Amino acid sequence: MVRKVEEVIDGFRSILFPEFYGNGTTEELLYAQMCSIMNKEQAAGMREYLPELKAQLEMDIEAAYNGDPAAESYEEIICCYPVIKAMINYRIAHRMLELGVRLIPRIITEKAHSETGIDIHPAATIGHHFTIDHGTGVVIGATCIIGNNVKLYQGVTLGAKSFPLDENGHPIKGIPRHPILEDNVIIYSNATVLGRITIGRGTVIGGNLWVTEGTEPGEKLMQERKARK
């Protein structure tokens, strides 16, 4: 199963960016590979998604390029930036989940996790022009909702503050427990944002902060500087 899923991901990457990941895969071959791990209706839905997927990823590439003064070309972004591999896998996995595919989306995002150090749950919702600078150690939980033009830095965690238990002491599944990030939010390295809170549009969260309460639009959360003696 895992090997077949890897072939599907390699096929998607080849079709989306043949000049960088080309391995001769055609849409017909990719469709046949997908039919080996999901039903034909789901495979057809993924095939129809290809143009939209390409457009979404081009916006992510643009965001990565515009967000990093060290980047010299879109080609460099595609070849060298871990966020693009992570987002290819995430966006494929997320659509599969929407089409009712189970388990495989998790395999796909875990493949990206092992490749890049970026851990995005396929059930998270992420808008357009999303980027992560550097990327290592980023965690995005299953019920996160992320708006457009959001930028994260390495080590950011968008996690749950607690796990409600049922009468038998077991975690209650499926409840919203991760943050909502509105449009144009920036979160700097190693910040931790926990719980079902809303980070308002245009908020900037500084590095190494622990955030468990929502913010108003445009807020800037920074570490307090100690007064000089």
Segment 11-28, tens digit of pLDDT: 999 999 999 988 889 999
32: Cβ contacts below 8 Å, ≥ 6 apart:
none
Q: Which CATH architecture has domain 1-117?
A: Orthogonal Bundle (1.10)
The yes-or-no verdict on residue 56 having pLDDT over 60 is yes
The yes-or-no verdict on residue 215 having pLDDT over 80 is yes
> How many whole angstroms separate alpha carbon 154 and alpha carbon 81?
12
Domain ranges of the chain: 1-117, 124-229
Dmax of the chain from CA atoms?
70
pLDDT over 90 percentage in the chain: 88
124-229 maps to which CATH number? 2.160.10.10
Helices (H), 67-205: 74-80, 82-98, 104-116
**Per-residue pLDDT tens for 155-170?**
999 999 877 788 888 8
**Which pLDDT score is estimated for 229?**
57
**Which pLDDT score is estimated for 228?**
58
State the average pLDDT over residues 204-227: 91
DSSP helix/strand/coil, 128? coil
**Which pLDDT score is estimated for 227?**
55
**Which pLDDT score is estimated for 224?**
78
Q: What is the pTM of this model?
A: 0.94
State the average pLDDT over residues 177-183: 97
**Which pLDDT score is estimated for 24?**
83
**Which pLDDT score is estimated for 163?**
77
Chain-centroid distance, C-alpha 55 = 16
Strands 145-146 and 204-205: unpaired
Q: What is the DSSP letter of 25?
A: -
> How many whole angstroms separate alpha carbon 28 and alpha carbon 83?
28
Q: Indicate if the alpha-carbon torsion angle 31, 36, 37, 42 is positive or negative.
A: positive
Quick one: tokens of 173?
């599944």
Give 167 or 150, the one with higher predicted confidence: 150
One fold for 1-117 and 124-229: no
Mean pLDDT for the chain?
95
